[in-house]
Amino acid sequence: MIFHEAARYAHVQAAFSETRTMYRKPPIILAQLLQQYRYWRGKILRLLDIKGRTAWLYSPDCQTHFAGSLHPESPERTEAIEQALRRSGLWLLLQKIEAPDVTEVQLARVHTRRYLNDLESRLPAQGQVQINDDTFLSRHTLQAARKAAGAAVKAVDMVMRKQAKNAFCAVRPPGHHAHADKASGFCFINNVAVAAMHLIAEYRLERVAILDFDVHHGDGTQDIFADDPRVMLLSSFEYPLYPFAEGELPAAAGRNPHIVNTPLKAGDGSQAFRDAVRNRWLPALEAFRPQFILLSAGFDAHKDDELAHLRLTEDDFEWLTKKIMLLANRHAKGRIVSVLEGGYHLPSLAASAKAHIGCLVKASPFF
């Protein structure tokens, strides 16, 4: 009898213990759910906080510059980039900002008044006016160029004021061949130069770096900053190729010791490009300690671009962007503004720019 009672008691005790364990589980599950809720709530709030996102600077006016139906620098270039971003989902993560006009004061820091007046006087009522071998003015060219420069200025303002983590300026016409007093190579106003001088004049920065990875040398930018050691210019490019023929590549003349040219030869690909960045660019940047990094983002060194003969892929542009971002985090508080230059094969331009912008977007606190 006693044995049976003990057995029954043991059975009841086991059932009670099981019930008690069962009622312990919900608090554990609730704690896990609460942890997940807090995690995703934080992610969503950071996503909704546009100040932590990459800015996309654009202007409808930039699409009105038309150099001719056969000219490679066409409105379809920025459209191709936008479509690639939309398809990838990155488009939803960008804050879209329409560019203002650049001001006369901002232009005057880089370009001569005589040059700007000359461009104004040559604007055609219709069609195109040829400025030189490959550079054409149309009725809306200067308005497009002013918006492109205005986008670069607005972008650096947003990053400096912590209204954006970084920025990409989807603008045209490009700018890095534009000199202080002349247009060339599809370029009229030097967008990155205007942005660099704005940083120096308005924010009192002492060290601004411009990294130009377009397949063509940034000759206009080099000329503008040849005597200004506050600006570092790193330019990788195919040589010989426009703007230089064989034997024409000049040394970095002037008093600026921070101009680093890394010419590549036709057929060079990832290895040569990455070696140049590792061995020349990164050590120079570490020594310079830039307070802000501007990118002349040309994607025409891609192997599919028919205007040149280098063999880069979108993976190389992604690799470079990651390297630059790490360095910017060390020295420049992560401050980067990228401004579109070249890239004329639409599929490779779109893929390369998407890879580049994808890296910038991933600097957001959301990731």
What is the residue-wise DSSP string for 291-318? SEEEEEE--TTBTT-TT----B-HHHHH
Polymer length of the chain: 367
Q: What is the pLDDT of residue 2?
A: 46
Q: Distance (Å, rounded) from C-alpha 188 to C-alpha 144?
A: 10
Q: What is the pLDDT of residue 251?
A: 63
CATH number for the domain whose boundaries are 52-361: 3.40.800.20
Q: What is the pLDDT of residue 23?
A: 47
From the list 65, 177, 331, 356, the catalytic residue is 177
Q: Give this prediction's pTM.
A: 0.87
Q: Are 336 and 295 in contact (CB under 8 A)?
A: yes
3-state secondary structure of 258: coil
Q: What is the pLDDT of residue 18?
A: 54
Q: What is the pLDDT of residue 248?
A: 76
Q: Distance (Å, rounded) from C-alpha 290 to C-alpha 329?
A: 10
Contacts of 319 (CB under 8 A, 6+ apart): 274
Average pLDDT for runs of 10 along the chain of length 367: 50 53 62 76 59 94 97 98 98 98 99 98 96 96 99 99 98 99 98 99 99 98 98 98 81 84 98 99 99 99 98 99 98 99 99 99 76
Sign of CA dihedral 195, 134, 137, 55: negative
Q: Are 198 and 156 in contact (CB under 8 A)?
A: yes
Is 177 marked active-site? Answer: yes
Contacts of 209 (CB under 8 A, 6+ apart): 231, 232, 233, 234, 285, 288, 290, 292, 293, 294, 332
Q: Are 356 and 167 in contact (CB under 8 A)?
A: no
Q: What is the pLDDT of residue 142?
A: 98
Q: What is the pLDDT of residue 36?
A: 79
Q: What is the pLDDT of residue 50?
A: 63
